[in-house]
Structure 1
Amino acid sequence: MTEFDGIDRRRFLAGAAAAGAAVPLAALTPALAGAAAAPATTDKFAFPTGSTLRVLVTGDAGTGTPAQWAVADAIRDLHRREPLSMALGLGDNIYELGPNGDQDVQFTTKFEDPNRGLDFPWVMALGNHDTSSIFPGDGGWLLRGNDEVDYHRRSKRWWMPSRYYSVRVPEKNPIVEFFVLDLNPLAAYLPPLLAPYWAPDGQFMNEQRAWLDAAISSSTAKWKVACTHHPYLNNGSHGDAGAYDGIPLEPMNGVHAKRFFEDHVVGRCQFILSGHDHSLQILEPTVASKGTRQIVSGAAAKDSHGKAGPEVNRRSLFQNFTDVGFMVMDLASDSVTARVYTVDVATSKATVAFERRLV
């Protein structure tokens, strides 16, 4: 979102920051606890075991609107013709404020119902709208994300055993390992000023850093893919980490997210897959990204109305700021191919807008 009740988000957030974030301090202090790994109490759809994978890449889907249904219908049509192995959900799973408990009906209306028939594992990441407090997307109630971890127990599709985790596919001799990250504490528009647990150098993030370093180092997968809601590089209106939404003040500009990417992800994973920006982008690696390619797929229910960011001219293989849609990645031991689909909301018809082997 770029507007909230007619107020431009950038102006609102910059003004709130300059005024010391004029919201109740209690809203900035969630309980000092993270979600433990959630065992499933229902049968889950099985992860693929073959030597090739066809992975749906989708983000910012959870609106329950006709646009989400149109994209899901297009995905169903593709799945009938070219079966998908699994999906990646890159955050903002429950618009606009996130769920209220793991039995919230929004899990049905904004995830299960639209995705009927897409019966494979959906590897899910947390987004800023999943952890809202005062206004949509503020990221100010980080503990709310635990409701989505708890929902892992209830759904055959939804895979989120913890706030951050990895999935190796196939489990033995993996082709790919997806490292699903929770960078919301580093990029919240309402930062957790009075909650040391969630601080940029607090327990949650330090444990996540240590886990990620060890997990990447020990991974035997050919392809290593970081899955985040917030992008590192982004030609869209939300901007790059360190300059999110044009906000000049730390930490709301995502400077800590930028440092996280540069210290722990770039040069170590071949891809960063993110949502947040309601666009479809396949960017070229940069010197700063050390060969890691940023992909943004956050248009599964909203588009950017043509709005691009200040880095719109950064080199890309593809970028679209006007359409809803999704991506598919085909992974084999020796190649990765990406396809981008745009979707006409009125007809649910998908069009292949881009297809290319990336590696």
Structure 2
Amino acid sequence: MRDNSFGRRGFLAGAAGVAAGASLVGLSPAEAVPVAPGVTKFGFPTDRTLRVLVTGDAGTGLRAQWAVAEAIRTLHRREPVSLAVGLGDNIYESGPNSGTDPQFADKFENPNAGLDFPWLMVLGNHDTSSVLGGDGGWLLRGNHEVEYHANSPRWWMPSRYYSVRVPEQRPVVEFFVLDLNPLAAYIPPILSPYWAVDGQFMNEQRAWLDRAIAESTATWKIACTHHPYLNNGPHGDAGRYENLPIEPINGVHVKRFFEDHVLGKCQFLLSGHDHSLQVLEPTVESKGTRQIVSGAAAKTVGAEPAITPRGRHNALFENYHQLGFMVLDLTATTVDLRVHTVDAATAATTEAFTRRLV
């Protein structure tokens, strides 16, 4: 299924001159949202063998999302999942209107009933939309998803960016959940200094991430973003998003962020955005960090010739026409990855790829 929710390239090319607003605020880890009275969060595991669901671009509330969720429930009954990572575009097409928006039930809670474990959630461009779904032009809207952290046992987003160590003591893994929407918005926040490339929000996030990674004692360090660094699908690589030469909407600042603060410091980079399943090989540019794209939980790229994958990067696995999700099995010494494709009509799954990555 092809995603036409942006006005595609004609709209994107003209978006650089549009302001996103001048009086926005964000939420940093220092301003993390507390859990509301009466809400008990599902707990993080304490053992050192973990099964992590990796899924993204799920939040449509439509049949395809339900089919993938049912496939995950089948897996969870057979092989219990420890926690999940949701890689953004959690509430299509334009994000929630409040921290109590009914869309949270329709597009997250109800489809995922029975998947009772923590979901580490990432903000995507569709979660922060203004004029058109996916434009990323109303960054403040993402705070509603942070607010929802207080109200849901599953949904974990105490701040726009944060980290989680699992287990807390002697961690096997630390997830660094990042918000790069200010750098990737198709409507750049040029009149909002707070969200600027070198504004308060991004500078605080950079400093926080550098410190958090340096202090981490986890065996595996995994960065979680919506926008990828490397991508064989139609959205393209950071610095070449949508095959546009226009800065900054081509993601040039996202590219620089990854290169300065993530690559070579984390073993894995998990992203969505492209509605595909990709396990890419590390490159010289990625400094050994492996890019994994899992954005097919409700939509697919499709097989039309106009959006045939570019295939620039070597891949262990890539699929652009099937729904699906991934599973990471982590121990203190190994990382195993499985890719599951899902039949939208029956919710039947096929284990399409399995590999020990480390």
Q: TM-score, normalised by structure 1?
A: 0.95
- Supply the distance in 2 between the matched residues of 1:72 and 1:30 (Cα, whole angstroms): 39
* Alignment-derived partner of residue 270 in structure 2: 273
C-alpha separation between the residues in 1 aligned to 2:77 and 2:24?
A: 45
Counterpart amino acid of residue 345 in structure 2: A
Show CA shifts across 1:18-57 (max 9, x none): xx64x5x4xx115331122101111100000111000000
Please give the alpha-carbon distance, in whole angstroms, between the structure 1 residues aligned to 2:352 and 2:92.
Answer: 27
- Do the aligned residues in 2 keep the contact of 1:126 with 1:229 (CA within 8 Å)? yes
Provide the C-alpha distance between the structure 2 equivalents of 1:246 and 1:2, rounded to a whole number of angstroms: 16
Map of 1:314 onto structure 2: 313
**What does residue 32 of structure 2 align with?**
37
AA at the equivalent of 2:348: K
Q: Write the deviation string for residues 45-86 of structure 1: whole angstroms up to 9, x where unpaired.
A: 000011100000000000001000000000000000000000
Give the CA deviation at 1:2.
4.1
Q: 1:13 deviation in Å?
A: 1.3
Alignment-mate amino acid for residue 51 of structure 2: R
1:166-315 paired onto structure 2 within 5 Å: 166-306=163-303, 307-310=307-310, 312-315=311-314
Q: 1:344 to 1:30 in 2, by over 3 A?
A: farther
Cα shift at 1:115: 0.2
Alignment correspondent of 2:328: 329
| Residue pair 2:44, 2:117 contacting (<8 A) in 1 also | yes
**Match of 1:339?**
338
Match of 1:107 in 2: 104
Partner Cα distance (2:308, 2:177) in 1: 26
Q: Is the 8 A contact 1:99 1:147 kept in 2?
A: yes
Deviating more after overlay: 155-164 vs 243-252:
243-252
SS at match of 1:342: strand
Check the 8 A contact 2:5/2:93 in 1, yes or no: no
- 2:32 pairs with 1:3: no
- Root mean square deviation, CA, Å: 1.1
Partner of 2:117: 120
What's the CA shift string for 1:270-294, capped at 9, x where partnerless? 0000000000000000000010000
Structure 1 pair 53/30, CA: closer, same or farther in 2 (3 Å)? farther
State the Cα distance separating 1:11 from its structure 2 match: 2.8
Corresponding position: 1:89 with 2:86: yes
Q: State the alpha-carbon separation in 1 of the partners of residues 74 and 23 from structure 2.
A: 43
Matched residue type, 2:201: F
Checking the alignment, whether the CA contact within 8 Å between 2:52 and 2:328 is kept in structure 1 is: yes
The alignment covers a number of residue pairs equal to 349
Opposite residue 183 of structure 1, the aligned amino acid is L
Aligned to 2:47, the other structure's residue is in SS state coil
Relative to structure 2, which stretch is displaced further, 34-43 or 122-131?
34-43
8 A Cα contact 2:129 2:136, kept in partner: yes
1:162 aligns with 2:159: yes
Instruction: Please state how far the C-alpha of 1:313 moved relative to its aligned partner.
Output: 3.8
Report the residue type matching 1:175 in the other structure.
V
1:149 Cα shift? 0.2
Q: CA 1:135–1:351 in 2, change beyond 3 Å: closer, same or farther? A: same
Tell me how far apart the structure 2 counterparts of residues 110 and 31 of structure 1 sit (CA, whole Å): 29
Task: Tell me what 1:129 maps to.
Answer: 126
SS at match of 1:224: strand
Distance in 2 (CA, whole Å) between partners of 1:341 and 1:216 is 30
Give the C-alpha shift of residue 250 in structure 1.
Answer: 0.6
TM-score, length basis structure 2 = 0.96
SS at structure 2 position matched to 1:3:
coil
Q: Which amino acid aligns with 1:263?
A: D
User: 2-side partners of 1:108 and 1:175: how far apart?
Assistant: 32
Q: Distance in 2 between matches of 1:263 and 1:313?
A: 22
Supply the distance in 1 between the matched residues of 2:274 and 2:98 (Cα, whole angstroms). Answer: 26
Instruction: Tell me: CA distance 1:61–1:173, structure 2 relative to 1, closer, same or farther (3 Å).
Output: same
> Is 1:142 the equivalent of 2:139?
yes
SS of residue in 2 equivalent to 1:144 = helix
Letter in 1 for 2:333: D
> Amino acid of the residue matched to residue 4 of structure 2?
E
Show CA shifts across 1:317-356 (max 9, x none).
0000000100000000000000000000000001000000
Q: Distance in 2 between matches of 1:117 and 1:245?
A: 37
Deviation digits for residues 179-237 of structure 1, max 9, x if unmatched? 00000000000000100000011000000000000000000000000000000000011
- Residue 130 of structure 1 aligns to a residue whose secondary structure is helix
- Corresponding residue SS for 2:52: strand
Unaligned stretches of 5+ residues in structure 1: none
Q: What runs of 5+ residues in structure 2 fail to find an aligned partner?
A: none
Contact 1:30 1:141 in 2 (8 A): no
Which moved further from structure 2: 327-336 or 313-322?
Answer: 313-322
Report deviation, 1:248: 1.1
| 1:53 equivalent among 50, 54, 67 | 50
